A and B are shown apart, each in its own frame.
Chain A
Amino acid sequence: MTTAQHTTRTTTVDGRLRTVLSAGERPPRVTAVSATLTHLWRAMMAFKHFPVQLIDIVLMPLIFLLMFTYLFGGAFADSTEEYLQFYLPGVMVQAVVMMTVYTGTSLNTDIHKGVFDRFRTLPFWQPATLAGSLLGDVLRYVVALTTTVLLGLLLGFRPDGGALGVVLAMLVLIVFGFSVSWIFAALGVVASEPERVSGTSMIVLYPLLFMSNIFVMPETMPGWMQGVVDANPMSHAATASRALMHGSADFWDVGLVLCVCVGLVAVFGPLTMRLYRTKNAR
C-alpha cells in the first residue's frame, strides 16, 4: 500500500512502536495453574496499591471483640477474662465469615468492570479469574485473624495450645473462610449489583452466626435450638478453633470442619464456575 505516506504520518509516535508491533510471536496456551496464580498476583497487587481497605478488615472483628467481651462477657461467663478465653476463638470465625461476604461483593463489582470483558476474550481457563480472586481474599483473612489474635493477647487471652495451636486454628479458619466464600462468590456472579449481594448475605449470615456456639454454649437453650446450634457449621468451626487454641482438639473437632469445607467447595466451586461461564454467553 502507500508505505511512504504511512511513514511520514507515523512520525508523531515513538519510532519504537513499529518494532514493538511486528513482534509476531505466539506463546503457548497458559496452564490453568499459571492463570490462577496470575489472577492471585493481580489481587495482591490491587491490595498493595490500596492498603486503606485494611482498616475495614481489621476494625470489624476488633469492635465485636471489645463490645461482646466488656458488654456481655461478665453476664455470659463468670468474668470478662474468662469470657475472652471462650469468645476470642469464636470471634475469629465470625471475622472470617463476615469477610467472605466482602469477597462476594467485590467479585460482583469486579465482574462488571471492563477488564473482565477482556479476560473473557483471552483463551485461558476462565474459572482462574474466580479462583484467583478468592485466593487473593485469603490474604485479607490472614490480616484480620492476626490482628484479632494480637488484640486478644493484649487484652489477656492465654491460649493453652500455645503458638502452634493458634497457628493451626488460623489455618483451619482460613480454609473454612475460603470454602464459605464460594457460596458468596456464586451470589456475586449472579447478582445484578453489589448491594444485593451484601443485603442477601447478611439476612442469611446473622442468624447463622448467632444460632451457633460462637457467643455462648447451647446448654441453656431449649432442645430444638440446641439441635440447630449443633448442626450449624459455624459451631463446628468455632469448636475446632477453640479446641485447637486451647490444646484440647481431637480428630473430629477438626475433621468435621474440614469435611464441611470439602463439601462446600465441591458443591459451590463448580456451581459458581458454571454460573460464571454461562453468564459470559448471555
Chain B
Amino acid sequence: MSAPRDHWGRSVSTQPTWAIETSGLVKVYGRTRAVDGLDLKVPAGLVYGILGPNGAGKSTTIRMLATLLRPDGGTARIFGHDVLGEPDSVRRRISVTGQYASVDEGLTGLENLVLMGRLQGYSWARARARATELIDGFGLGDARDRLLRTYSGGMRRRLDIAASIVVTPDLLFLDEPTTGLDPRSRTQVWDIVRALVEAGTTVLLTTQYLDEADQLADRIAVIDQGRVIAEGTTGELKSSLGSDVLRLRLQDARWRPEAERFLSAELGVTVHPGSDPTTLTARVTDTQAVMRALAGLSRTAVEVRDFSLGQSSLDEVFLALTGHKADDQHTGKTSEEEAA
C-alpha cells in the first residue's frame, strides 16, 4: 500500500515487525472476562481501529498493551518487546492518551507539556521550547497559561494528545479520542491523527463509531465481549458487512405499499416498513441502482419527503456480526456462564 517509511528503517529487526502482536490475551475481573483471548496483529505505520460497544474490552486491552495493567493470560508484544518482560523497552516507544483526560488538572496547559518534556529527558529550556511549539501547533496558544480545569472538553483532548507526542512515539494509543466532542473538534482530532501517521507513528485508536473507524483507520478489528469478531481493512469489512442502508420517508403513509413494491422491484432487495408508518428501509449495495430507483420513484405518484443513504449503524453491524444487539451483552453473558 505505502512504501516503507523511515519507521521501518528505525526498527532493529529485518523481519517484518508488528507494531502490536497479541495472542490469547486475557483479563478477568471477578466473573467478567473483560478481555477474553484477544488476538491482534497491527502492522507498523498505519492507523488501526478497534471498534466495539461499551464494555467490549477496548480500554482494558489498551491498558494491558501500554503496560498499565497486568494480563491474566496470553502474550502481548510491542515492536517485538514483551509487555511483561520488557516494560521499559515498551515504554520508550509508546505513548497513551487514555479515555479520560490523562493530564494534570492543577497545572496550566503549557506546564503540562513542560512536565512531559522534562520527564522524557529534555532540559528545562528545550522542554519549554517544545511545549510552546506544540501548544501553538495544536491551536491552544491562547489558553497556554490557563489551568487545565478551565479547558473545554475539546481543548483538553487536544492538549492530552499533545502531551502524548512531546517526544514523537513510534506507537500511540488513543482511547476513544473523539467521544463527546463536537464535529469541529472531532475533525481537528482526526487531522492530528492523520498528520501523526504521515510523520511515521503507528496509531491504535478505539472508537464506538463506525464512521470514525472508516474515516481514519486503515485496518479495523471489531471486538465484542473481549474477543475479535471481525478483522480487516475498512473495505474488506464493509463488503463483508455487506450493505448500506437506504432510509426513505414519504409525505403520506398511504403511499407506502406502492413505494415498497416499486423499490423492491427496482433494487431486487427486500424493503422493510419502518416503525413510523411513513418510513421504509432497505439494505443496499449498489449506489447507482439506488439513484436510478429513486429517480424512477419520483416519476410515480409517490411523494418522498426525504431519504438518506448511509452506512450501517454500529448496531446493525453488530447485529450482523454477532446475532445480538450491541447493548444486550447480558444475554450473551448469561448463556456463556451457563455453558461454563
Binding site for B on A (CB under 8 A): 1, 3, 6, 9-10, 12-14, 16-30, 34-35, 38, 41-42, 45-46, 49-50, 113-115, 117-124, 280-282
Taking the closest CB of chain A, its distance from the CB of B318, in whole angstroms, is 29
Q: Contacts A117-B96, A123-B92 hold; do A10 and B105 have CB atoms under 8 A apart?
A: no
A sample of 28 cross-chain residue pairs with beta-carbon separation below 8 angstroms, ordered by A number, consists of: A1-B2, A10-B194, A12-B187, A13-B188, A16-B136, A17-B137, A18-B199, A23-B130, A23-B133, A30-B119, A30-B120, A34-B118, A45-B111, A46-B104, A46-B106, A50-B106, A113-B105, A115-B102, A117-B68, A117-B96, A118-B98, A118-B103, A118-B164, A120-B68, A121-B91, A121-B94, A121-B96, A123-B92
Question: Beyond A21-B199, A22-B168, A118-B96: 11 further Cβ-contacts under 8 Å?
Answer: A10-B191, A13-B139, A19-B137, A20-B137, A23-B168, A30-B120, A38-B115, A42-B104, A49-B106, A49-B108, A118-B163
Q: Contacts A38-B115, A49-B106, A49-B107 hold; do A282 and B70 have CB atoms under 8 A apart?
A: yes
Cβ of B165 and Cβ of A21 under 8 Å apart? yes
Q: B290 at the A/B interface (Cβ < 8 Å)?
A: no
Q: Contacts A13-B188, A17-B137 hold; do A122 and B103 have CB atoms under 8 A apart?
A: no
Give complex CA distance A281, B1 in Å: 38
Give complex CA distance A46, B194 in Å: 34
Cβ of A114 and Cβ of B188 under 8 Å apart? no
A-B contact count (CB 8 A): 145
Q: A17 contacts which chain B residues (CB < 8 A)?
A: 137-138, 191-192, 195
Residue of B nearest to A13 (CB): B191
Q: B323 at the A/B interface (Cβ < 8 Å)?
A: no
Binding site for A on B (CB under 8 A): 1-2, 6, 63, 66-70, 88, 91-92, 94-96, 98, 100-108, 111, 115-116, 118-122, 126, 130, 133-134, 136-139, 147, 163-165, 167-168, 184, 187-188, 190-192, 194-196, 198-200
Cβ of A121 and Cβ of B66 under 8 Å apart? yes
Give complex CA distance A22, B6 in Å: 11
Residue of B nearest to A125 (CB): B119
Taking the closest CB of chain B, its distance from the CB of A19, in whole angstroms, is 8
Taking the closest CB of chain B, its distance from the CB of A192, in whole angstroms, is 15
Give complex CA distance A123, B6 in Å: 23
Cβ of B121 and Cβ of A30 under 8 Å apart? yes
Residue of A nearest to B67 (CB): A121
Give complex CA distance A50, B111 in Å: 14
Cβ of A35 and Cβ of B119 under 8 Å apart? yes
Contact of A124 among B66, B119, B190 (CB under 8 A): B119
Q: A49 contacts which chain B residues (CB < 8 A)?
A: 106-108, 147
